[in-house]
Structure 1
Amino acid sequence: MDWPVLFLLLSLAFRLPLSFSTLDAISEGTSFNVEKPEDVLISQNGVFSAGFTLNSRTIVWMANRDQPVNGKRSQLSLKIGNLILTDAGKFTIWTTNTISLSSVQLSLSNTGNLVLRNLEDVILWQSFDFPTDTLLPQQLLTRNTKLVSSRSQRNFSTGFYELLFDNDNLLRLLYNVPEVSSIYWFDPWLVSWDADRSTYNNSRIAVLNSLGNFSSSDNFTFMSADYGLVLHRRLTLDYDGNMRLYRWEDEGQKWVVSWQAIQTPCKIHGVCGANSMCSYIVGSGRKCSCLPGYKMKNHADWGYGCEPDFDFSCNKNKSTFLLLSHVEFYGYDYGFYANYTFDQCRDLCLQLCNCKAFQYNFGEDIYLRLPIGNNISNSIHVEEFGLDCSSEGTIQLDRTYVKSSENWKMKFMLEFASGLAGLEIICIFVVWCLLIRTQKNSDIDKDGYVIAANGFRKFTYSALKRATNGFKEEIGRGAGGIVYKGVLSDKRVAAIKRLNEANQGEREFLAEVSIIGRINHMNLIEMWGYCAEGNHRLLVYEYMEHGSLADNLLANSLDWKKRFEIAVGTAKGLAYLHEDCLDWILHCDVKPQNILLDSNYQPKVADFGLSKFQNRNVFNNFSFSKIRGTRGYLAPEWVFNLPITSKVDVYSYGIVLLEIMTGKGPSRSVHSIDDGKETEPKRLVTWVREKKNRAATNTPLLQEIIDPLLEGKYDVRMMETLVEVALQCVEEDKDARPTMNQVVEMLFRQHNYSQ
């Protein structure tokens, strides 16, 4: 779904709604509300607008790209010389961090610069100093600024690619992910003078003008293909890692590329993710594919790359090598060895458990390490994965055609065959049209619910029964139903939940799953589809390789770093449900069993099921008459029949935090030892709170409550923060508990401090 965020939009004047304000500036004390689309600033030339509304305009700047606000009750305010963006809970999401004793004004210039200045015309803050992924004409790129790409075409959060001045004063493109960081433009093997660059430019400054000329202090310059015309232009570092100059075409009402940094996209590092290959087909662009024996991690995003589709053994006697011709890998190089034979290279790779492949003769062939017994043959690979880029272009074949004497019989047969072929083509076209129409009709449910374009779909009961092999492999169960592992027709592994009873009509069920299917967040389980046939109600989710948090705590497979990241990710997922969704949702059953872990141990909140949607912040108890939580994680509101709010999830989350830290479940009594004697059993919350109070008298808090399975390996400051946050979340008074967004902020603040 589209996130309502604060941004500037590049748009032509006549495309702006007539109901919009014509203000290009606001004074102190003014505020913009997300629920009022008319609350926008528009530059005097009508080209730029600033506000919450997204529509179809081109985004050139965002204030809060990594922390979107929800679509209700969010507000942008100008107070005491400070521009402040607040969420529905009045929590500060973003601010300019400025102050002024005199009155200030926020204005939007004709260049697209959002400027905050005081009465003395002193600029306190301007958006040109904080670019996101776009540089506008007259906007400077300096030693203190950089362009950072978006994550994907629809996800505007921070991506993997950066344009910046490096420490050697050179303008470069950088691929930057947690695992690796590498320069990919200009060619990293070139020294500055070979690339016509100069390192003698301590100013580090670059600028684009409206005529289409870009110049940098390191001597790099380019001109657009239409240089000399005064047009609307923007230089954008796109999500695919390529830097492109665009011009606006009035006739076609579209953006046209007039220059780009990289002509062959496969040279962009990480463009297909890890363990993958990129091939370039002239006229067709880039094509990504996984290495033989590997599979995509995320079918919706190549950025996640591929992962092994086999169990790797470090035993060198169980490994073999597959030849990949005309393939070049980069990153994670173990070493370079001169005067090594082929056998020596192979044997060295076999001795290293983390060796995935070796290259013999630089720039020629790669030998990929695979387990013995894989079913991938060299012949299949060479055809599907091999890419021969040695040819400089298309080769013209020299052919001579000699016309023979005319044969009327042959001519008749050819004309007859042509007639039949034409009739056949007409029949195929008619059948194709009918199939398309049938398909469109099948994409619309009988109650009018259209299948989502993102792959969310309706499954038949027989298809899901076939996918689960008759519902044989059970991977989980709860009060709502049993979860089975299955393989869909497109080979995706899925978790298929079979609900115990159809307690809703089909129309109500479809209305709710259609909302859940549109929810998209990295810390929420993704629903791929559903089944509603007769009394059968099934939900299809992505499969999580490492199971639930409960299983991993029991198996002691989580170190301190993983536990903290799980705490943060879970908080972000719940915060999104509470405040960032246009359809607000309460979970009502937050517990370790409903926090699932993917292949990288990243958490995804699951089972935020049906009949839990909010229209207001408070619900009557009748709306939740059939919802059952889990003993030990239930907030006091449930027990005392009080109004239910999002704070019930906050309470449950606090219990989960205590369980992550102590390794002890809330339903079990906790025994402590004082003066060598075991005290009476206590509830987990009471036990931790008493330990925290005793910490004031220099009694070691963490050593007594921390999970002994961690063996003392943890960050003391971060653990103290988790204890503090958890105890705030489990306050008896719901008003004393923080919101989930506030929890996220507290955890992030401590995480950044510790780094």
Structure 2
Amino acid sequence: MAISIPFFLLLLALYFQYCSSSSSSQVLFLSVEKPEDVIVSKNGLFSAGFQAIGENAYCFAIWFTQPDHQNPTIAWMANRDQPVNGIRSTLSLMKTGNLVLTDAGKFIAWTTDTASSKTLELVLENNGNLVLRELQGSILWQSFDFPTNTLLPGQNLTRSIKLVSSRSETNQSSGFYKLFYDNDNILRLLYDGPDISSTYWPDPWKSLWDAGRSTYNGSRVAVLDALGYFVSSDNYNFKTSDYGLVLQRRLTLDSDGNLRVYSREQDTNEWYVSWLVKSQPCTIHGICGPNSTCSYDSKHGRKCSCLQGYAMRNHSDWSYGCKPKFQLSCNRSNSWFQPTHNIEFYGYDLNHTENSTYRECENLCLQSCDCKGFQLSFQNGQYFTCYTKYLLLNGRCSPSFEGATYLRVPKGMHNFSSHRQTDGECTHVNFVKIDRVYTKEHENSFVKFFLWFVPAIGAFEIFTVFSVWVFLIRTKLKSNRDQQGYHIVANGFRKFSYEELKDATRGFSEEIGRGAGGVVYKGVLSDQRVAAIKRLNEANQGEEEFLTEASIIGRLNHMNLIEMWGYCAEGKHRLLVYEYMENGSLAGNLMSNTLDWKKMYDISLGMARGLAYLHEECLDWILHCDIKPQNILLDSNYQPKIADFGLSKLQNRNNLNNSSFSMIRGTRGYMAPEWIFKLPITSKVDVYSYGIVLLEMITGKSSTMGVQNVSGVEEPHGRLVTWVREKRNQRFEMASWVEEII
């Protein structure tokens, strides 16, 4: 017994020594409910774990270790576009070698998709790289290969890697700006908005030679080193203002589209800008949205302003730009041009003519119904060049701009000049200056202490009062919050309670639509937003399947797709909350004959853009499977939005012939032949339905009812597509049969 007890104690000591040595590098299970579940690099500069990015919304992230643990600077995120719940969400390293982030103990939000039968370890290295590797040293996955919006020193940007900005300073989801290598081996910045994409760096009006770039190096690699020197394979390089000092640094593509290097002050741990790519922030594309202008001054920063006669679309997000308060007519005698001085717009020209007069440019614009205005630029101090615009994008106030922009507005609207929405006048545009860091001179320690002590006392008093006030406000608000829902900042996707939606609809009293999937009611939410609330019929799908589909649809972001604000999954109740469309459905407008040809053309184009996004651009390949006029909704400007994804199907992009449909989907009269003949189901089924909707708009006839046969007799159950085909076969001249079906 005297021998066994020391031996047991020795084994116990070895066990605890093993656990303490391995816990810092190997993690098998992290819980969102345990703030202490954090991986820390050996040098203590980086930490990894769960970070709150909204109310009850968390992401697994890597951040720069902050001494006070307040507002840490994020360097990387795993699930920026699919936050997880604050209850029962975990990060687990499976025995199969896969690192899995689970949402609320049910759904897989993110995974490394790795596999290994060997012993693995998850290590946060001193440079901020999170590495999953075998004990023998073979790397299975590393965060450096999948950056979000930040590059750390020593992290390569390659042909297969891109930086994507955040949506805003408070919304960490993917934004509209990207840094990447294009097919010409050039490092570029791209604005990739909901409808328009354009590169804005290098300056698009310069040749690559003038920009100092080279297309001949196909290695496509760029890196920022520890001393602040950045070098790219396309011959672009720079040094930060504090080059040579050993500091923590990060290269970040910010939500405003500017690429900046931030350095961290060693004494205060504060970040400062040591380099930026755009000293004129207003030259960044898309920053203020369409029909607006950008101005900048060092005192107030960047300002966005609507053009005269336009109003903001979304008061919480300037990227949506402004919408006109008027409707233009193609009749040239009903238009006149409002001059705006010192304002220029880049791109989206219908025509450009050198050595042009004002009258010539005006006539050129009036010849096109799509012309929104024109710009006269004084070139080289010699002559004017005319640019007619079909879109008013990338507008900025520029006192150095020699010329003027003339906005096309209806006659009788001369009073706009005194009603600009904001006070962003073009006075003087300042450049952003980055100060060079120099060695500090020795300061008197007593004076330095006194200068810090007095403001610190005042700041402490202010902080105490502010903290009490914030505590009282938060305590009051917390009692009214839905603690189970996803509340993502900046107009995010959330969960509603059944009672909340019942109150919003006044007991589901105002019905505005009905279909096979359920009934739609009009409601007013607690934040006074008018919503369309769809109450689904008794759902056959389980809660897990419903929440998964709702989450995917909630992530869709396109101006021609209906915006879903949230959902309710409570007991047997399944409800979806959408934005409310003032002009109802396309079906209702076709029946009331309220649409002219211009509106129908715009509606057709918007529908096509929405479908193209679903089929080709969004992360998940989505087939709608039920395109019809009842599912095309129109906003106050008659812009179309595709709605009702109740029959939609998520497909695998790697298998375009996927036909995993357990049943036929769609509505009689709009269904493609693939459903009948059991052919592979692809995006063509939506395109076919879209074509039927176009025929209905052109002919004014239903897809299945009220079609005449060859003898002119009404066939109550004829098919519109058959009738159009017969008309085409009867008439050999193109104009003749087209005119006949209109």
Q: Which residue of 1 aligns with 2:124?
A: 108
Q: Distance in 1 between matches of 2:611 and 2:311?
A: 29
CA contact (8 A) 1:136 1:233 kept: yes
The answer to whether residue 150 in structure 2 is matched with residue 134 in structure 1 is yes
Query: For 1:303, what is the secondary structure of its paired residue?
Result: helix
Query: For 1:710, what is the secondary structure of its paired residue?
Result: helix
CA contact (8 A) 1:276 1:305 kept: yes
Q: How does 1:145-184 map to 2 (within 5 A)?
A: 145-184=161-200
Q: Distance in 1 between matches of 2:263 and 2:613?
A: 44
Q: Distance in 2 between matches of 1:693 and 1:337?
A: 54
Q: CA deviation at 1:140?
A: 1.0
The answer to whether residue 159 in structure 2 is matched with residue 143 in structure 1 is yes
Q: Distance in 1 between matches of 2:158 and 2:685?
A: 46
Q: CA deviation at 1:178?
A: 4.7
Q: Distance in 2 between matches of 1:711 and 1:543?
A: 24
Q: CA deviation at 1:42?
A: 1.7
CA contact (8 A) 1:21 1:40 kept: no
Indicate the larger mover: 379-388 or 252-261: 379-388
Q: Identity over aligned residues, as a percent?
A: 47
CA contact (8 A) 2:227 2:243 kept: yes
CA contact (8 A) 2:563 2:578 kept: no
Q: CA deviation at 1:264?
A: 1.7
Q: CA deviation at 1:117?
A: 1.6
Q: CA deviation at 1:84?
A: 2.6
Deviation string, structure 1 residues 266-299 (Cα, Å, up to 9, x no partner): 1111110111101122322111011111111111
Q: Which residue of 2 aligns with 1:277?
A: 293
Q: Which residue of 1 aligns with 2:412?
A: 373
Residue identity opposite 1:65 in structure 2 = R
Q: Which residue of 1 aligns with 2:693?
A: 710
CA contact (8 A) 1:45 1:110 kept: yes
Residue identity opposite 1:325 in structure 2 = H
With over 3 angstroms needed to count, the CA separation of the structure-2 counterparts of 1:379 and 1:550, relative to structure 1, is closer
Query: For 1:317, what is the secondary structure of its paired residue?
Result: helix
Indicate the larger mover: 380-389 or 87-96: 380-389
CA contact (8 A) 2:303 2:424 kept: no
Q: Distance in 1 between matches of 2:313 and 2:421?
A: 23
Q: Which residue of 2 aligns with 1:37?
A: 35
CA contact (8 A) 2:39 2:124 kept: yes
Q: Distance in 2 between matches of 1:439 and 1:88?
A: 29
Q: Distance in 1 between matches of 2:426 and 2:134?
A: 60
The answer to whether residue 94 in structure 2 is matched with residue 57 in structure 1 is no
With over 3 angstroms needed to count, the CA separation of the structure-2 counterparts of 1:213 and 1:595, relative to structure 1, is same
Deviation string, structure 1 residues 212-262 (Cα, Å, up to 9, x no partner): 222223332222222222221111000001111112235444322122111
Give TM-score, length-normalised by structure 1. Answer: 0.55
Q: Which residue of 2 aligns with 1:69?
A: 84
Query: For 1:266, what is the secondary structure of its paired residue?
Result: helix
Q: Distance in 1 between matches of 2:171 and 2:302?
A: 20
Query: For 1:194, what is the secondary structure of its paired residue?
Result: coil
The answer to whether residue 319 in structure 2 is matched with residue 315 in structure 1 is no
Q: Which residue of 2 aligns with 1:229?
A: 245
Q: CA deviation at 1:544?
A: 3.5
Indicate the larger mover: 147-156 or 213-222: 213-222
Residue identity opposite 1:224 in structure 2 = T
Query: For 1:106, what is the secondary structure of its paired residue?
Result: strand
Deviation string, structure 1 residues 57-110 (Cα, Å, up to 9, x no partner): 222112222233333343333232222333347443332233234332221111
Query: For 2:52, what is the secondary structure of its paired residue?
Result: coil
Deviation string, structure 1 residues 446-475 (Cα, Å, up to 9, x no partner): 99869x99899xxxxxxxxxxxxxxxxx99
Q: Which residue of 2 aligns with 1:48?
A: 46
With over 3 angstroms needed to count, the CA separation of the structure-2 counterparts of 1:547 and 1:75, relative to structure 1, is farther
1:205 to 221, 225, 229: 221
CA contact (8 A) 1:266 1:286 kept: yes
Q: CA deviation at 1:209?
A: 2.0
Deviation string, structure 1 residues 697-728 (Cα, Å, up to 9, x no partner): 99xx979x979953689xxxxxxxxxxxxxxx
Q: CA deviation at 1:200?
A: 3.8
Q: How does 1:517-532 map to 2 (within 5 A)?
A: none
Q: CA RMSD in A?
A: 5.4
With over 3 angstroms needed to count, the CA separation of the structure-2 counterparts of 1:259 and 1:706, relative to structure 1, is closer
Q: Distance in 1 between matches of 2:269 and 2:431?
A: 36
Residue identity opposite 1:368 in structure 2 = L
Q: Distance in 1 between matches of 2:685 and 2:251?
A: 52
CA contact (8 A) 2:305 2:423 kept: no
CA contact (8 A) 1:21 1:38 kept: no
Q: Which residue of 1 aligns with 2:321?
A: 305
Q: Distance in 1 between matches of 2:404 and 2:178?
A: 31
Q: CA deviation at 1:379?
A: 6.2
Q: CA deviation at 1:323?
A: 0.7
Q: Which residue of 1 aligns with 2:67?
A: none
Q: Distance in 2 between matches of 1:708 and 1:147?
A: 38
Q: Distance in 1 between matches of 2:354 and 2:692?
A: 46
With over 3 angstroms needed to count, the CA separation of the structure-2 counterparts of 1:545 and 1:274, relative to structure 1, is farther
With over 3 angstroms needed to count, the CA separation of the structure-2 counterparts of 1:192 and 1:318, relative to structure 1, is same
CA contact (8 A) 1:597 1:604 kept: no
Q: How many residues align?
A: 507
CA contact (8 A) 2:282 2:295 kept: yes
Give TM-score, length-normalised by structure 2. Answer: 0.56
Q: CA deviation at 1:300?
A: 0.5
The answer to whether residue 563 in structure 2 is matched with residue 547 in structure 1 is no
Q: Which residue of 1 aligns with 2:734?
A: none
Residue identity opposite 2:44 in structure 1 = G
With over 3 angstroms needed to count, the CA separation of the structure-2 counterparts of 1:692 and 1:274, relative to structure 1, is closer
With over 3 angstroms needed to count, the CA separation of the structure-2 counterparts of 1:257 and 1:342, relative to structure 1, is same
With over 3 angstroms needed to count, the CA separation of the structure-2 counterparts of 1:546 and 1:197, relative to structure 1, is same
CA contact (8 A) 1:22 1:41 kept: no
Q: Distance in 1 between matches of 2:29 and 2:587?
A: 45
With over 3 angstroms needed to count, the CA separation of the structure-2 counterparts of 1:217 and 1:36, relative to structure 1, is same
Q: Distance in 2 between matches of 1:709 and 1:520?
A: 28
Q: Which residue of 1 aligns with 2:260?
A: 244
Q: Distance in 2 between matches of 1:294 and 1:217?
A: 44
Deviation string, structure 1 residues 413-469 (Cα, Å, up to 9, x no partner): xxxxxxxxxxxxxxxxxxxxxxxx99999999899869x99899xxxxxxxxxxxxx
With over 3 angstroms needed to count, the CA separation of the structure-2 counterparts of 1:23 and 1:546, relative to structure 1, is farther
Q: Distance in 2 between matches of 1:563 and 1:132?
A: 26
Query: For 1:337, what is the secondary structure of its paired residue?
Result: strand
With over 3 angstroms needed to count, the CA separation of the structure-2 counterparts of 1:137 and 1:306, relative to structure 1, is same
With over 3 angstroms needed to count, the CA separation of the structure-2 counterparts of 1:448 and 1:116, relative to structure 1, is closer
Query: For 1:26, what is the secondary structure of its paired residue?
Result: coil
Q: Which residue of 1 aligns with 2:711?
A: none
Q: Distance in 2 between matches of 1:339 and 1:112?
A: 57
Q: Distance in 2 between matches of 1:92 and 1:194?
A: 48
Q: Which residue of 1 aligns with 2:205?
A: 189
Q: Which residue of 2 aligns with 1:360?
A: 376
With over 3 angstroms needed to count, the CA separation of the structure-2 counterparts of 1:344 and 1:384, relative to structure 1, is farther
Q: Which residue of 1 aligns with 2:505?
A: none
With over 3 angstroms needed to count, the CA separation of the structure-2 counterparts of 1:707 and 1:358, relative to structure 1, is closer
